[in-house]
Chain A
Amino acid sequence: QVQLVESGGGVVQPGRSLRLSCVASGFTFSSHSMHWVRQAPGKGLEWVALISLDGGNKYYPDSVKGRFTISRDNSKNTLYLQMNSLRAEDTAIYYCARDLGFTYGRPFDLWGQGTMVTVSS
Chain B
Amino acid sequence: DIQMTQSPSSLSASVGDRLTITCRATQSISTYLNWYQQKPGKAPKLLIYAASTLQGGVPSRFSGSGSGTDFTLTITSLQPEDFATYYCQQSYSTPYTFGQGTKLEIK
Indicate which residue in B38, B50, B98, B101 contacts A107 across the interface (CB closer than 8 Å): B50
Minimum CB distance partner of B4 in chain A: A44
How many residues in B have their beta carbons less than 8 Å from beta carbons of A? 27
Check A105–B32 contact: CB distance below 8 A: yes
> Looking at B32, B49, B87, which has the most chain A CB atoms within 10 Å of its CB?
B49
Indicate which residue in A95, A105, A112 contacts B34 across the interface (CB closer than 8 Å): A105
B48 to chain A, nearest CB (A): 8
| Residues of chain A from 34 to 88 with CB closer than 8 A to chain B in the complex | 35, 37, 44-47, 50, 59-62
Minimum CB distance partner of B94 in chain A: A59
Residue numbers of B with Cβ under 8 A of A are 1, 31-34, 36, 38, 43-46, 49-51, 53, 55, 87, 89, 91, 94-101
Residue numbers of A with Cβ under 8 A of B are 35, 37, 44-47, 50, 59-62, 95, 100, 104-109, 111-114
